[in-house]
């Protein structure tokens, strides 16, 4: 059975319990800007495509006033029992939308949470980075089955690891966030500015954790390597390439990778317990460089509403390449699969994201043409799950009972 920490909002809680002594709960800071988790490898069986839960002819309820009232109550309940001060939810489907914010923008303020805020989106960033790679595939500048050694030197067994395996999290490379030295550095200073090569070095010294292509093992190391490939092949920085070839063509006005701890207003304050003593602190302006192209991006609800269906449709890719992206492999948990930088969660396709202070869910249910975006200003767990996950589950319990977004609780 796959450890439930593979997703963007599960790994840190599991991992921090593996850290002992003076470091205490350092993985909290060890995931200190974690776009995604420190995951355990799990045998996911065959790499053949699996059928999406979306094939089960979903029922999506009409957003009548009565249904909207139920949603209001359910979301307020999840917010009350969470460590977040605010949450925003957007559900768009043919006929009527539901777009609302609840709570406040931070502690000690009466300023309301707003659906227009900029928010840190964590591993939703991966959907942009992998799209950039796939555009190079379309241009015939790279092939998915090329070995990473063709582009990047020094990768353990790099001649045996393909770009496809990196994108689908089956390379066998350790997530650098699991490295104890990394954890110590980021715990001592959550504003430490990491370079990509510095982060990769933390992973490479451990070699392979499993044979390439045999096990699903969620690892930010994979996405950082893909960023290096994009840069080498295109001659541009990954940020510039994504901006020119992904963000602008998608007409996303408020999505970008920040420089250092840049975070334009308006935004909510973000709260985390990724601290040595698990105390909850304000992480709003912590440096996100420990994520780089794996999870450092800032976006808005309106941009993600536009982006989610574009990812699922493959608007910026050729059909054959999009088909490769959407070929999901099992991860060891019923109802969940992972493609090339996309997650299939009981038919809802997209990605989630978490880093200190913020959690996001961005998914699209193609068979119902429905899109769901959830942002919360906390990454603290309540009963093994983070606020955005609880809210996404509560919403889909009501509106799409045959396709309920959910993740196993971390324990």
Reported as a single tens digit per residue, the pLDDT across 73-119 is: 999 999 999 999 999 999 999 989 999 999 999 999 999 999 999 99
Cα–Cα distances in Å, from 392 out to 51, 148, 322, 377? 22, 36, 26, 14
Q: How many domains does the chain have?
A: 1
pLDDT for residue 164: 98
Question: What is the predicted pLDDT for the residue at 410?
Answer: 85
> What range defines the domain where residue 158 resides?
4-399
| Structural domain contains residue 109 | yes
Q: What percent of the chain has pLDDT over 90?
A: 82
pLDDT band at 381 (very low <50, low <70, confident <90, very high): very high
- For residue 7, pLDDT over 90 is answered with no
Does residue 407 form part of some domain?
A: no
Indicate the pLDDT class of residue 272, thresholds 50, 70 and 90: very high
pLDDT band (50, 70, 90) for residue 10: very low
More confident: 57 or 17: 57
- Percentage above 70 pLDDT, the chain: 86
pLDDT tens digit string along 38-65? 333 344 444 444 444 444 455 789 999 9
- 221 assigned to some structural domain: yes
Task: Read off the pLDDT band of 36 (50, 70, 90).
Answer: very low
**Is residue 131 included in any domain, yes or no?**
yes
Judged by DSSP in three states, 176 sits in helix
- Local confidence band at 160 (pLDDT 50, 70, 90 cut-offs): very high
pLDDT band at 13 (very low <50, low <70, confident <90, very high): very low
Instruction: Check residue 46 and give its pLDDT.
Output: 45
pLDDT at 57: 52
- Pick from 10-19, 187-196, 281-290, 325-334: least confident: 10-19
Three-state DSSP class for 139?
coil
C-beta of residue 299 within 8 angstroms of C-beta of residue 255: yes
Contact 58, 400 (CB under 8 A): yes
Q: Please report the DSSP string for 258-323 in residue order.
A: PSTT--PSSB---EE--STT---EE-TT--GGGTGGGT--EEEHHHHHHHHHHHHHTTTS-HHHHH
pLDDT at residue 29, rounded to an integer: 25
Better-scored residue on pLDDT, 43 or 386: 386
The rounded distance, in Å, linking the Cα atoms of 90 and 92 is 6
User: Is residue 409 assigned to a domain?
Assistant: no
pLDDT at 59: 75
CA dihedral (266, 267, 268, 271) in degrees, to 10, reads -150
Give the span between the Cα atoms of 36 and 7, in whole angstroms: 7
pLDDT at 260: 87
pLDDT exceeds 90 at position 198: yes
Inside any domain, residue 77: yes
Instruction: Kindly state the average pLDDT of the residues 197-215.
Output: 97
Residue 302 has pLDDT above 70, yes or no: yes
* Residue 305: predicted pLDDT: 98
The encoded tokens of residue 97 equal 């939308």
Place of tokens 């582009």: 151
Residue in the structure block whose two tokens are 């940020």: 239
Q: Residue 17 maps to which CATH number? A: 3.40.710.10
Per the domain annotation, does 336 fall within a domain? yes
Question: What pLDDT does 8 receive?
Answer: 43
Confidence band for 134, pLDDT divided at 50, 70 and 90: very high
Q: Nearest CA to 349 among 387, 299, 379, 310?
A: 310
Instruction: Judge whether 406 lies within some domain.
Output: no
**Residues 14, 19, 192, 109: is their CA dihedral positive or negative?**
positive
Look-up of token digits 């690892």: 219
């Amino acid at each position: 059975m796959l450890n439930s920490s593979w997703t963007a909002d599960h790994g840190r809680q599991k991992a921090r319990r593996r850290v002992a002594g003076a470091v205490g709960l350092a993985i909290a800071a060890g995931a200190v800007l974690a776009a995604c988790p420190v995951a355990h490898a799990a045998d996911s069986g065959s790499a053949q495509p699996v059928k999406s839960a979306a094939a089960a002819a979903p029922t999506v309820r009409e957003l009548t006033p009565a249904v909207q009232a139920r949603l209001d109550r359910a979301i307020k309940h999840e917010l009350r029992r969470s460590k977040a001060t605010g949450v925003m939810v957007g559900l768009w489907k043919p006929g009527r939308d539901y777009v609302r914010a609840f709570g406040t923008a931070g502690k000690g303020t009466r300023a309301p949470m707003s659906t227009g805020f900029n928010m840190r989106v964590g591993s939703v960033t991966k959907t942009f980075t992998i799209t950039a790679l796939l555009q190079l595939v379309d241009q015939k500048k790279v092939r998915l089955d090329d070995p990473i050694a063709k582009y990047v030197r020094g990768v353990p067994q790099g001649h045996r690891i393909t770009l496809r395996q990196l994108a689908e999290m089956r390379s066998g490379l350790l997530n650098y966030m699991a490295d104890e030295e990394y954890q110590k550095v980021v715990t001592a200073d959550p504003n430490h500015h990491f370079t990509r090569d510095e982060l990769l070095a933390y992973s490479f010294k451990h070699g392979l954790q499993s044979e390439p292509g045999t096990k699903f093992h969620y690892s930010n190391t994979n996405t950082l390597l893909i960023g290096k490939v994009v840069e080498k092949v295109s001659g541009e920085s990954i940020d510039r390439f994504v901006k020119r070839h992904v963000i602008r063509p998608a007409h996303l006005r408020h999505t970008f990778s920040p420089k250092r701890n840049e975070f334009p207003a308006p935004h909510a304050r973000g709260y985390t317990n990724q601290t040595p003593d698990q105390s909850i602190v304000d992480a709003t302006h912590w440096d996100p460089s420990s994520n780089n192209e794996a999870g450092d991006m800032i976006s808005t609800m309106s941009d993600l509403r536009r982006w989610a269906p574009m990812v699922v449709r493959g608007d910026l890719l050729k059909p054959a390449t999009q088909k490769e992206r959407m070929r999901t492999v099992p991860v060891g948990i019923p109802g969940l699969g992972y493609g090339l930088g996309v997650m299939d969660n009981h038919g809802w396709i997209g990605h989630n994201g978490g880093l200190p202070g913020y959690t996001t869910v961005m998914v699209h249910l193609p068979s119902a043409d429905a899109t769901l975006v959830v942002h919360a200003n906390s990454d603290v767990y309540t009963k093994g799950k983070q606020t955005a996950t609880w809210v996404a589950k509560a919403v889909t319990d009501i509106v799409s009972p045959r396709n309920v977004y959910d993740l196993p609780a971390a324990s």
